[in-house]
Amino acid sequence: MSASTNRSVVLITGAATGIGNLTARSLAAAGHTVYASMRDIAGRNVQHAQELVELGQREGHDLRVVELDVTSQDSADAAVRRVLDETGHLDTVVHNAGHLFVGYVEAFTAEDVTRLFDINTIGVHRVNRAVLPHMRERRSGTLLYVGSTTSVVLPPFLGPYVASKTAADALAQVTAYEVNPLGIETTIVMPGPFTQGTEHFPNASHAGDTARSAGYAQLDPLVARNEEATEGLFPEDVDAHPRAVAEEITRVLGLPAGTRPFRTVVDFSQADVEEVNAVMRDAQEKFLARLGFGELLNVTRQG
């Protein structure tokens, strides 16, 4: 690790498995103080929690585990209080917690979709409400969101998930406008699809209204080969593993404050998301400039 790399206190949501777990390991190895958060650390996730704690002890990393359920404001508040009580400050939140729904949109009930938004979208907002008073007081901090290229390419059979990630992305962007003048930085890391290395697909929920799903039976063969079709997008000589996302997050947080990209893409499916992001950013910059709010686009460094 170079001497210029920023070392900070980082809270990661959804760190039991997948990208969150890999990111906790990578950031701790890079010298950051990492709070890997997850639900039910004394129950369903006790093994995941123990593995991270033991890794930190074995490797000499400052890697800690904290209880955090993003569907509870009390839980988010308690997790942030613990970090502040133990370290005195919190520099970065990595918004990673999320869940996947697979199926036909009509076959998900309104309650199903509400539950997914509660995790993937409102969960982000709860954690921000927990941490932003501290960051605003310090006039510094970083909100790093693990978004998704699905909010650009809109793949089929993931409708509620795509909608929830798109909504979370919009909240992240508008929140960035409002915290930029207060010295709080934002980065949205957009992973593409991964068919290995996460529990996203194995743990996915499916549409519970089987009668409605039956109405789309002619599309079942497309759903069945979705994973194979996705893998066919990857170049043969590329290891499409989510550790690349953890490495990118570690790289971004190692950059000097004020120089981190607003968006970065980690996508092995070659979906040209970067080009869409550039066009969208240009349109946003022009619109805000016409409103007279152009200064909201970039973080203001304090002092």
What residues act catalytically? 161
Task: For residues 299 and 178, give the distance between their C-alpha atoms in angstroms, rounded to a whole number.
Answer: 10
- The amino acid present at 291, given as its one-letter code, is L
CA of 93: how far to CAs of 9, 89, 108, 180, 185, in Å? 9, 12, 31, 15, 11
Task: For residues 94 and 167, give the distance between their C-alpha atoms in angstroms, rounded to a whole number.
Answer: 17
Q: Which residues share a beta bridge with 189?
A: 146, 264
Phi, psi of 291 (to 5 degrees): -75, -15
* Tokens coding 177: 């406008």
CB within 8 A of 176, min separation 6: which ones? 143, 186, 262
Task: For residues 244 and 197, give the distance between their C-alpha atoms in angstroms, rounded to a whole number.
Answer: 11
Separate counts of helices (H) and strands (E) for the chain? 12, 9
Q: Which residues of 123-142 are buried (b: 16+ CB within 10 A; e: fewer)?
A: bbbbbbebbbebbeeeebbb
CB within 8 A of 77, min separation 6: which ones? 130
Angle formed by the axes of helices 110-120 and 159-179, nearest 10°: 40
The H or E element containing residue 179 is helix 159-179
